[in-house]
């Protein structure tokens, strides 16, 4: 059965107000009463799990201004996409610990950018400790939604994330089942492998609105199923027993037409829940830049549009969880 009120999940902390994945971003999200926080994880050269949305970090740290790391700038192909910059796997944790965090989209969130260069990067263990401490201090269960990034890529360069995640969750006590733990990824292979190792968690398969998962493209080539096909009833049938749920791009629920007008809620939520699968969606953001055209105002990209109208369609779909960048707005709206 769907939840009467969806879980409110702090997407990378509170990035509407602080640089994503920074200490203050998580602290603020926890203070604002979210049900869970979502750290993304990538790896260092020496096998430390660090919290970054991508392994290329020039847009969210000060690495480009560090002369001693100038020679680390390089070009790589990750999940079939070419990127140029600085990559976590080319640094030790001790080196990354000297960097500071920055706002990823300062043009949209200039107030958050005022916190640039004020805080160091975090490891996964740091976030796990923060959440546990907040749970104790607030007297309530707060969960972690752990997103595994680029698992196939990292395995191809000799950094298998699966044993690292397994060991970290066990050493920090997060594999005991004492607090809510969700593990999610756009690659089903890493979810299956972690489940086979006995890591107790809710396993959620992330689905893009278009494209194919890189792990299945790597193993099956053109025969790999697309994300949209997986969200159809026949694709959902194949997920039953393999994962506990899916997390979809909000556009798969809003179902915009060619003019960008919402026609949803689309049936994907009901279809999945009928099969016993939970459904989360990402990402609920209030700024005009991220809303469907019909919900935007004329105030500019960084200003808030009629986000409540868009979010109401998502709420009416019956989703089990929503990812938000502004935890206060998410808590007020989805628990109201």
For 72, the token pair is 């680390």
Q: Is the pLDDT of residue 1 over 80?
A: no
pTM, two decimals, is 0.97
Query: Domains of the chain: which residue ranges?
Result: 7-55+121-334
The string of pLDDT tens digits covering residues 10-33 is 999 999 999 999 999 999 999 999
The label of the residue with tokens 């009928």 reads 274
b/e sequence 277-307, b meaning 16+ C-beta within 10 Å: bbbbbbbbbbbbbbbbeebbeeeeeeebbbb
What does the alpha-carbon distance between residue 23 and residue 292 come to, in Å, rounded to a whole number? Answer: 31
What does the alpha-carbon distance between residue 127 and residue 95 come to, in Å, rounded to a whole number? Answer: 19
∠ CA 274-276-282 to the nearest 5 degrees? 90
Residue 289's pLDDT band, with cuts at 50, 70 and 90, is very high
7-55+121-334 belongs to CATH 3.40.50.300: no
The residues facing 95 across adjacent strands are none
Q: Is the pLDDT of residue 2 over 70?
A: no
Residue 3's pLDDT band, with cuts at 50, 70 and 90, is low
For 146, the token pair is 């752990």
What's the rounded mean pLDDT across residues 258-277? 96
- How high does pLDDT run on average in the chain? 97
What does the alpha-carbon distance between residue 98 and residue 55 come to, in Å, rounded to a whole number? Answer: 16
């Amino acid at each position: 059965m769907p939840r009467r009120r969806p879980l409110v999940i702090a997407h990378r902390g509170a990035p509407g107000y602080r640089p994503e994945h920074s200490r203050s971003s998580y602290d603020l999200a926890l203070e604002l009463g979210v049900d869970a926080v979502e750290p993304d994880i990538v790896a260092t050269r020496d096998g430390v799990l660090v919290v970054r949305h991508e392994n290329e970090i020039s847009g969210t740290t000060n690495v480009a201004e560090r002369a001693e790391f100038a020679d680390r700038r390089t070009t790589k192909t990750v999940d079939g996409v070419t990127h140029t910059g600085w990559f976590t796997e080319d640094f030790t944790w001790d080196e990354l610990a000297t960097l500071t965090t920055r706002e990823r989209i300062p043009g949209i969130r200039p107030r958050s950018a005022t916190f640039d260069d004020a805080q160091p990067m975090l490891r996964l263990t740091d976030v796990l400790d923060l959440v546990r401490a907040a749970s104790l201090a607030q007297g309530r269960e707060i969960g972690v939604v752990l997103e595994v990034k680029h698992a196939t890529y990292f395995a191809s360069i000799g950094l298998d994330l699966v044993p690292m995640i397994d060991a970290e969750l066990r050493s920090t006590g997060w594999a005991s089942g004492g607090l809510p733990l969700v593990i999610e990824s756009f690659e089903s292979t890493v979810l299956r492998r972690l489940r086979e190792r006995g890591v107790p968690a809710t396993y959620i398969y992330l689905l893009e609105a278009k494209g194919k998962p890189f792990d299945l493209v790597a193993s099956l080539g053109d025969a790999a199923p697309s994300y949209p096909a997986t969200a159809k009833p026949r694709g959902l049938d194949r997920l039953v027993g393999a994962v506990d749920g899916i997390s979809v791009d909000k556009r798969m629920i809003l179902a915009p037409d060619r003019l960008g007008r919402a026609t949803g809620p689309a049936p994907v939520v009901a279809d999945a829940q009928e099969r016993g699968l939970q459904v989360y969606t990402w990402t609920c953001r209030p700024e005009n830049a991220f809303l469907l055209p019909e919900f935007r105002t004329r105030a500019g990209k960084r200003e808030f549009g009629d986000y409540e109208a868009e979010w109401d369609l998502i709420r009416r779909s019956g989703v089990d969880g929503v990812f938000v960048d502004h935890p206060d707005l998410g808590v007020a709206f989805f628990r109201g």
